[in-house]
């Protein structure tokens, strides 16, 4: 259905001078100035009939939720007192994004009709006729079908988007359709795995602007700040790290972890994404292999079929400022060509001293209807981030006792730097073949370059002398280039008197970390101990830390180059949703994958005077002393296949059960003979109940799961398998490991996820996870029954609710929100070295070996904690909104991550304020 909105459409205006992105304190002022400029543009009116002459337009308070258009129009008629005349077939299948706030009756009606293809005209003083907008451009892509009933969005085009999973403009905390577990729009109720969504409205309400804050609000996900600091955390689900990500449902991309040389550093700005979909458990069917932790799917914002712009300025604690400009609309060809641009700049301070970061995002996308059944979207985005990072965190006493340092303590240095440049180009082609079949091709190419030079304190504190930590430094250059291609054919056919659904496809994913360069520590080349006269690491007084006492050292020597380090994966998949009788649906899927790994690494001489080679002769400083080459491939056909069952108890309630396999190539690791290890295998079994009442405006699910992983690598030692031509002591990459099929990793528990509108005007999101993960099998010895990840809590609760007050008076313009993130205790244990013996290897590289008898055991925990947040917002007028977000409302002091006694302990943020001014045009 077609419509014309009363929302004022902006002309494509000549480009104004580029906004001079502000200094640390001017974000709100720039936002206000830009928005004022936008609001003064002369914009053409869409086609609708003006109110009859002499009719007075009064402002009224409206609060009509997103959903069925027919229901919304009835509510509008009751509030406005207008008589609406229209044919029922016009609104029978249409949806609306709703309307909230005080405005004229005409403006409210225009907002209700936005994106529906309908317009209105006054036929009298109190009578309005609703009809098709004949002036609007038409696009026919064929039916876009969302699997399952009672979905919140049954057709493409929520808020004028061609994406049937889009959430922008719905003002909802749930979605009627996700594609992460099906490769086609499918309701949460009919998805036989644990899935959840974080919508555009929820990201706005909770001020989620980056990938880490997104994951911190995702059900079942634990964010662990590693030694690499908050710029490169690791994300855990069900006791396993999440290592892959999709964009727009495409082929998997490697996000690795903070220490991965091929994985993407996940400093992603959420300004360019509509929503995020999260799948917990094995994701192998559509991704080539299955990781037990799950996968994340980020869905980009698409160009809309009507003019829309928003500008937002934010300023908060520790000089944290941000400005975002988002503009979209038709560009020509009678609406068949549409565009979208997002620009964001953030200058971020932290609650601890010295560290800081600034980030710039530029995102652009063009979408065109090549024919009445073909749509092509192309675009690119560029993100640049420069930071003064805090890495390795805080140490503890030798026994693990807390040093009780102030929260603003930062053992970091003004010469620290971490620069990340990310460039991405993408294209999506969607072809409707007929009323039942469609084809989608998704291509993404991403290139990221990062480099850092970081000083940090590392070492446990002696409680008697208060000494122990030493200054260390590291330098690296990294690159990650990834290409992800996915082609999916999906459709339906009639068989046994029921509609059957078939999905077939193939994908290609290439990840290359070539360009990685490591350097020797710059500290050991410059510091000489005044007491021993030996080159080593200077001590750091953590209780009286003075960063100015440590001048920037010169760069270290290149110690290694890696021109190639990556994988190439081809996969084919097919899944059939078979219905033999109405209540029961059987879904079966098969996957074939081919995997190839290639690695070339050069070890360089760092010894003044040169290094001796095994083959005779010597290499100068910087010369190659050895090369490690690895190139091999494997293939796999999934068996047993993925099997899922969904039983519809009624139209809103279903039971499900599923089995998915766990399969991951680890041929990058080798045994003592240099042979690649066989793949990690296992299985994920889960079942549960899903509920979708209120016409799909609420989704709830309870899942029970049990997964077993086996054949994972067990580290033996560094081995004696030397690479050909290498220097003495140079060993093959990732040597040496073994595998024991009798040792198992087991994870089991429950997920509860509730999102959507639980009462009119009350949006709600709650995720609770119980997880028990452990090592199983007698061959684990004394570690049998111990957790796989002690930093991942057994109980994890994430809750947020937002209430729009009833219409009428000033209170009708206000909304409030509140939430909590709570988790049970986590702990860590091990041993720490209190005295090192320093030396050099044959290549001249610094070595540090723990002195015999200098290992001290530690064991400590972070107890249960809960962090409350709140938000208050006020709609100043029909365009402007003012909001205040407060995180850690009660100013709780806690460790967000508890590392070891030597480092890796990170305080959670204190009470934080963020004031936002947002204009919508």
For residues 71-76, average pLDDT: 84
Q: Mapping DSSP to helix (H, G, I), strand (E, B) and coil, where does residue 874 land?
A: strand
- From first CA to last CA, the distance across the chain in angstroms is 23
> Which residue bears the tokens 């929100």?
817
Q: How much is the pLDDT for 717?
A: 64
Burial class (CB in 10 A: 0-12, 13-18, 19+), 634: middle
453-479: per-residue pLDDT in tens?
999 998 899 988 998 898 988 899 988
Pick the most confident of 277-291, 685-699, 805-819, 847-861: 685-699
Sequence-separated contacts (24+) of 846-851 with Cβ below 8 Å: 846/520, 846/521, 846/524, 846/535
Structure tokens at 883: 């909001």
Give the span between the Cα atoms of 669 and 684, in whole angstroms. Answer: 24
β-bridge mates for residue 836, sequence order: 850
Whether the per-residue pLDDT at 354 is higher than 50: the answer is yes
β-bridge mates for residue 492, sequence order: 501
Q: Quickly state the pLDDT bin for 844 (edges 50, 70, 90).
A: low
Q: Mapping DSSP to helix (H, G, I), strand (E, B) and coil, where does residue 493 land?
A: strand
Whether the per-residue pLDDT at 147 is higher than 70: the answer is no
Give me the chain's average pLDDT, please.
83
For residues 175-197, average pLDDT: 91
> Which residue bears the tokens 């079929």?
305
CA 187 to chain centre: 21
Please indicate whether residue 48 or residue 744 has the higher confidence score (pLDDT). Answer: 744
Half-sphere exposure in the Cβ direction for 514 (13 Å, CA):
13
Give the span between the Cα atoms of 547 and 551, in whole angstroms. Answer: 8
Q: Mapping DSSP to helix (H, G, I), strand (E, B) and coil, where does residue 897 land?
A: strand
Give the span between the Cα atoms of 880 and 919, in whole angstroms. Answer: 5
Whether the per-residue pLDDT at 584 is higher than 70: the answer is yes
Whether residue 252 contacts residue 268, with contact meaning beta carbons closer than 8 Å, is answered with: no
Q: How much is the pLDDT for 886?
A: 98
Q: How much is the pLDDT for 144?
A: 42
Whether the per-residue pLDDT at 726 is higher than 60: the answer is no
For the stretch 842-864, what's the b/e string if a residue is b when 16 or more beta carbons lie within 10 angstroms of its beta carbon?
Answer: ebbbbeeeeeeeeebebebebee
Q: How much is the pLDDT for 20?
A: 37
Whether residue 60 contacts residue 105, with contact meaning beta carbons closer than 8 Å, is answered with: yes
For residues 627-638, average pLDDT: 80
Give the span between the Cα atoms of 564 and 628, in whole angstroms. Answer: 11
For residues 742-768, average pLDDT: 93
Q: Quickly state the pLDDT bin for 894 (edges 50, 70, 90).
A: very high
Q: How much is the pLDDT for 103?
A: 79
Biggest alpha carbon distance in the chain?
Answer: 100
Q: How much is the pLDDT for 838?
A: 67
Compute the C-alpha angle 571/576/578, nearest 5°: 170
Burial class (CB in 10 A: 0-12, 13-18, 19+), 393: buried
Whether residue 663 contacts residue 678, with contact meaning beta carbons closer than 8 Å, is answered with: no
Q: How much is the pLDDT for 32?
A: 41
Burial class (CB in 10 A: 0-12, 13-18, 19+), 236: buried
Q: How much is the pLDDT for 35?
A: 40
**φ, ψ at 48 (rounded to 5°):** -160, 160
680-713: per-residue pLDDT in tens?
888 999 999 999 988 788 999 999 999 999 888 8
Write out the DSSP string of 307-327: -EEEEEEEEEGGGEEEEEEEE
Give the span between the Cα atoms of 343 and 31, in whole angstroms. Answer: 12
- Cα pseudo-dihedral 578, 579, 584, 590, rounded to 10: 0
Find, among 237, 230, 229, the residue nearest to 212 by Cα: 230
Edge to edge, the sheet with strand 273-280 lists 194-198, 273-280, 295-300, 244-247, 253-254
Please indicate whether residue 400 or residue 258 has the higher confidence score (pLDDT). Answer: 400
Contacts of 838 (CB under 8 A, 6+ apart): 524, 534, 535, 536, 846, 847, 848
Q: Mapping DSSP to helix (H, G, I), strand (E, B) and coil, where does residue 548 land?
A: helix
Secondary structure of 784-838 as H, E, C letters: CCCCCCCCCCCEEEEEEEEEECCCCCHHHHEEEEEEEEEECCEEEEEEEECCEEE
377-393: per-residue pLDDT in tens?
999 999 999 999 999 99
- In eight-state DSSP terms, residue 75 is H
Q: Mapping DSSP to helix (H, G, I), strand (E, B) and coil, where does residue 349 land?
A: strand
For residues 161-172, average pLDDT: 90
For residues 621-627, average pLDDT: 87
Q: How much is the pLDDT for 520?
A: 86
Compute the C-alpha angle 156/158/163, nearest 5°: 45
For the stretch 402-415, what's the b/e string if a residue is b when 16 or more beta carbons lie within 10 angstroms of its beta carbon?
Answer: eeebeeebbbbbbe
Whether the per-residue pLDDT at 734 is higher than 90: the answer is no
Please indicate whether residue 44 or residue 65 has the higher confidence score (pLDDT). Answer: 65
Helix/strand number for the chain, H first, E second: 6, 49
For residues 395-402, average pLDDT: 90
For residues 26-47, average pLDDT: 38
Give the span between the Cα atoms of 694 and 754, in whole angstroms. Answer: 13
Whether residue 895 contacts residue 864, with contact meaning beta carbons closer than 8 Å, is answered with: no
For the stretch 638-669, what's the b/e string if a residue is b when 16 or more beta carbons lie within 10 angstroms of its beta carbon?
Answer: beebbebbbebeeebebbbebbbbbbbbbbbb
CA 14 to chain centre: 35
333-344: per-residue pLDDT in tens?
988 999 999 999
Whether the per-residue pLDDT at 140 is higher than 60: the answer is no
Structure tokens at 532: 């021993």
Give the span between the Cα atoms of 823 and 831, in whole angstroms. Answer: 26
Whether the per-residue pLDDT at 733 is higher than 90: the answer is no
Q: How much is the pLDDT for 52?
A: 52
Q: How many residues does the chain have?
A: 921
Contacts of 137 (CB under 8 A, 6+ apart): 305, 330, 333, 334, 335, 336
**φ, ψ at 333 (rounded to 5°):** 55, 45
- In eight-state DSSP terms, residue 434 is S
For residues 35-58, average pLDDT: 44
517-544: per-residue pLDDT in tens?
989 888 876 766 665 565 668 899 999 9
**φ, ψ at 740 (rounded to 5°):** -130, 110
Give the span between the Cα atoms of 687 and 694, in whole angstroms. Answer: 24
Please indicate whether residue 420 or residue 176 has the higher confidence score (pLDDT). Answer: 420
For residues 893-908, average pLDDT: 91
CA 749 to chain centre: 23
Q: Quickly state the pLDDT bin for 135 (edges 50, 70, 90).
A: low
Pick the most confident of 200-204, 231-235, 530-534: 200-204
Find, among 83, 260, 95, 239, the residue nearest to 167 by Cα: 95
For residues 79-98, average pLDDT: 78
Q: How much is the pLDDT for 439?
A: 95
Phi-psi region of 405 (alpha: psi -120 to 50; beta: other; left: phi over 0): beta
Contacts of 711 (CB under 8 A, 6+ apart): 677, 678, 679, 680, 681, 682, 739, 741
Burial class (CB in 10 A: 0-12, 13-18, 19+), 496: exposed
Whether the per-residue pLDDT at 212 is higher than 80: the answer is yes
């Amino acid at each position: 259905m077609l419509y014309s909105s009363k929302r004022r459409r902006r002309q494509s205006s000549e480009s104004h001078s580029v906004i001079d992105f502000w200094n640390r304190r001017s974000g709100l002022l720039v936002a206000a100035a830009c928005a004022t400029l936008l609001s003064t543009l002369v914009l053409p009116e869409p086609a609708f009939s003006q109110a009859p002459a002499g009719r007075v337009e009064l402002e009224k308070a409206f609060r009509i939720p997103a959903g069925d258009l027919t229901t919304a129009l009835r509510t509008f008629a009751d509030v406005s007192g207008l008589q609406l005349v229209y044919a029922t077939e016009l609104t029978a299948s249409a949806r609306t994004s709703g309307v909230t706030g005080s405005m004229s009756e005409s403006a409210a009606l225009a907002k209700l009709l936005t994106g529906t293809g309908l317009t209105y005209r006054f036929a009298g003083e109190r009578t309005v006729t609703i009809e098709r907008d004949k002036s609007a451009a038409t696009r026919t892509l064929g039916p876009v079908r969302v699997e399952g009933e009672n979905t919140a969005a049954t057709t493409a085009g929520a808020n004028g988007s061609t994406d049937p999973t889009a959430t922008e403009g719905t003002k909802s905390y749930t979605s009627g359709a996700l594609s992460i577990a099906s490769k086609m729009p499918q309701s949460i109720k009919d998805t036989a795995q644990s899935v959840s969504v974080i919508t555009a409205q929820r990201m706005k309400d909770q001020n989620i602007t980056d990938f880490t804050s997104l994951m911190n609000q995702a059900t079942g996900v634990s964010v662990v700040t590693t030694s690499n600091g908050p710029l490169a955390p690791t994300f855990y689900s069900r006791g396993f790290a999440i290592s892959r990500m999709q964009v727009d449902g495409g082929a998997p991309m490697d996000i690795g972890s903070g220490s991965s040389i091929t994985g993407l550093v996940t400093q992603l700005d959420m300004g360019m994404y509509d929503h995020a979909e999260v799948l917990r458990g094995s994701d192998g069917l559509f991704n080539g292999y299955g990781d037990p932790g799950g996968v994340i799917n980020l869905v980009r914002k698409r160009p809309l079929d009507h003019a829309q712009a928003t500008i937002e300025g934010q300023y908060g604690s520790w000089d944290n400022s941000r400005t975002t400009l988002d503009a979209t609309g038709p560009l020509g060809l009678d609406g068949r060509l549409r565009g979208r641009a997002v620009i964001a700049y953030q200058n971020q301070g932290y609650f601890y001293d010295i560290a800081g970061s600034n980030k710039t995002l530029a995102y652009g996308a063009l979408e065109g209807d090549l024919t009445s059944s073909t749509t092509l979207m192309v675009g690119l985005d560029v993100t640049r981030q420069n930071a003064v990072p805090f890495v390795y965190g805080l140490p503890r006493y030798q026994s693990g006792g807390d040093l009780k340092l102030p929260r603003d303590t930062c053992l970091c240095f003004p010469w620290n730097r971490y620069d990340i440049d990310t460039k991405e180009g993408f294209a999506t082609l969607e072809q409707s073949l007929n009323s039942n079949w469609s084809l989608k091709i998704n291509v993404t190419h991403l290139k990221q370059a990062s480099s850092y030079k970081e000083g940090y304190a590392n070492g446990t504190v002696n409680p008697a002398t208060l000494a122990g930590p030493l200054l260390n430094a590291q330098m690296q250059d990294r690159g990650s280039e990834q290409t992800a291609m996915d082609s999916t054919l999906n459709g339906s056919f009639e068989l046994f008197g029921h509609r059957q659904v078939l999905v077939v496809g193939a994908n290609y994913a290439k990840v290359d970390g070539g360009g990685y360069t490591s350097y020797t520590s710059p500290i050991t080349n410059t510091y000489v101990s005044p007491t021993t006269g030996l080159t080593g690491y200077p001590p750091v007084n953590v209780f009286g830390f003075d960063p100015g006492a440590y001048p920037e050292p010169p760069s270290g020597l290149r110690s290694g180059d890696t021109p190639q380090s990556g994988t190439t994966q081809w996969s084919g998949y097919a899944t059939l949703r078979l219905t033999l009788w109405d209540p029961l649906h059987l879904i079966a899927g098969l996957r074939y994958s081919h995997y190839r790994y290639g690695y070339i690494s050069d070890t360089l001489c760092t010894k003044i005077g040169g290094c001796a080679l095994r083959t005779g002769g010597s290499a100068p400083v910087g010369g190659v002393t050895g090369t490690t080459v690895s190139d091999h491939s494997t293939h796999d056909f999934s068996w047993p296949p993925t099997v899922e069952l969904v039983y519809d108890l009624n139209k809103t309630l279903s039971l499900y059960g599923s089995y998915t396999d766990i399969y991951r190539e680890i041929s990058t690791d080798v045994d003592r003979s240099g042979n690649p290890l066989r793949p990690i295998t296992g299985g994920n079994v889960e079942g549960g109940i899903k509920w979708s009442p209120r016409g799909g405006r609420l989704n709830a699910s309870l899942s029970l799961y049990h997964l077993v992983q086996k054949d994972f690598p067990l580290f033996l030692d560094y081995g004696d398998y030397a690479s050909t031509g290498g220097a003495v002591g140079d060993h093959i990459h990732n040597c040496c490991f073994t595998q024991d099929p009798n040792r198992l990793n087991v994870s089991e528990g429950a997920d509860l996820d509730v999102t959507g509108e639980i009462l009119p005007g009350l949006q709600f999101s709650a995720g609770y996870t119980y997880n028990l993960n452990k090592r199983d099998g007698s061959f684990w010895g004394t570690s049998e029954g111990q957790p796989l990840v002690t930093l991942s809590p057994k109980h994890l609760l994430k809750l947020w609710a937002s209430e729009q007050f009833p219409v009428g008076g000033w209170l009708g313009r206000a909304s409030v929100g509140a939430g909590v993130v709570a988790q049970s205790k986590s702990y860590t244990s091990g041993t720490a070295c209190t005295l090192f013996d320093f030396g050099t290897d044959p290549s001249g590289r610094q070595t540090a070996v723990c002195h015999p008898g200098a290992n001290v055991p530690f064991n400590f925990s972070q107890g249960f904690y809960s962090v409350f947040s709140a938000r208050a917002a006020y709609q100043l007028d029909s365009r402007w909104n003012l909001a205040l977000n407060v995180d850690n409302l009660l100013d709780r002091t806690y460790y967000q991550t508890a590392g070891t006694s030597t480092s890796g302990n990170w305080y959670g943020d204190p009470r934080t304020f963020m004031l936002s001014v947002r204009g919508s045009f």
